[in-house]
Amino acid sequence: MRRPINIAVLGATGLVGLEFLRILEERSFPVGEVRALASARSEGKKIPFKGGELTVHAVSRDAFKGMDFALIAVGDDVSQEWAPIAAEAGCIVVDKSNAFRMDPSVPLVVPEVNPEDTRGHQGIIAGPNCSTIQMVMALAPLHRVNPITRVIADTYQSASGAGLDAVEELWEETRAVANGKDMQPSFLPYPLAMNLFPQIGGFSANGYCSEEIKLINETRKILHEPGMAISATTVRVPVEISHSEALHVEFTHAMSASEARSILADSPGIAIIDEPFENQYPMPLFAAGKDEVFVGRIRNDLSHPHGIAMWVVSDNLRKGAALNAVQVAELMMEQDLL
């Protein structure tokens, strides 16, 4: 019988950290000790786990001793400080931040897409951006059959992708609008209630914002296609949970919509909802709280003879973040890589 697995969760009081704990419980992960870690200001807080409570402790060097995994969901600077310390303590680190994703020595892993990359880890494994995960989940099965030459991606990303502060701000703005009041945002750059804006992260000199650059570079790394032509526009929308993406994909050879639909239907982690004449297609409302990446509106692109267009929706806190990290840990256990 496999011994219990000890896990440190850094960022345990955040949206993704709390989701880590829920998913560990839901999947009956063989946990031994779980250490809930956060900044010093969260010291002593209680958070639910498996019918009881965990006490949150301030992160420290000693906090990672005796742990098998460190699941980390904090800002880039905090990850850069603590992930190497956790790895030095003997943990396998699965980090959700952007700190290590493009480091050539750090695998960037979606278990359904590139599980073999975990074998190259040196103590740290990076989890991709939430919008990247659902995109590569939809692209990879098709790319294996018919190599992709170009992708145009437009994303519609929920407030929770920006964290708890953004979610709370959206709800406050929504209540204000309902009561005929004006409210100025304090966290996001513009009001999100009854609005959307095409900016996630700061802009670079080429006119692309940081979320768009992440989507492009991470997809290339995961698919091992450094020259793949990808363009992206990322949009923040007034939805609490779940990101949506309109993907226009060009292939080496012509592919029918029915063939693409069949390939995706047989792919792990994908659920097809594609009955447009019955108003059945993926939506954030239905994806929230679920593990699958939902794909629909699969159709031939009328503008390109080798093109497929599709609509992809997934819970950004689950498969887009916490679930993917837990699946990486499960994969490491299956491969006896602890």
293-300 and 307-314 strand pairing: antiparallel
Which pair of structure tokens corresponds to residue 202? 């700061």
91 catalytic residue (yes or no): no
130 catalytic residue (yes or no): yes
Backbone phi, psi, residue 18, to 5°: -65, -35
Strand stretches in the chain, DSSP E: 5-10, 31-38, 46-49, 52-58, 69-72, 92-95, 124-126, 148-157, 229-236, 243-251, 270-272, 293-300, 307-314
- Residue 149's Cα: distance from chain center in Å? 24
Q: What sign does the dihedral 177-196-324-74 (CA atoms) show?
A: negative
Which pair of structure tokens corresponds to residue 65? 């001793």
Q: How many residues comprise the chain?
A: 338
Helix axes 323-334, 15-26, angle to 10 degrees: 50
Residue 73: Cβ within 10 Å count = 27
Spot the catalytic one: 243, 248, 253, 306: 243
Query: Which residue in the block uniquely carries the two structure tokens 């994806």?
Result: 287
Query: Which residue in the block uniquely carries the two structure tokens 């363009």?
Result: 231
21 contacts 49 by C-beta, under 8 angstroms: yes
Comparing CA positions, the residue from 215, 224, 212 lying closest to residue 147 is 224
Backbone phi, psi, residue 71, to 5°: -95, 120
Backbone phi, psi, residue 82, to 5°: -100, -25
Q: How far apart are CA 211 and CA 231, in angstroms?
A: 12
Helix (H, G, I), strand (E, B) or coil at 184: coil
Spot the catalytic one: 57, 91, 121, 130: 130
- Residue 120's Cα: distance from chain center in Å? 21
Q: Active-site positions?
A: 130, 243
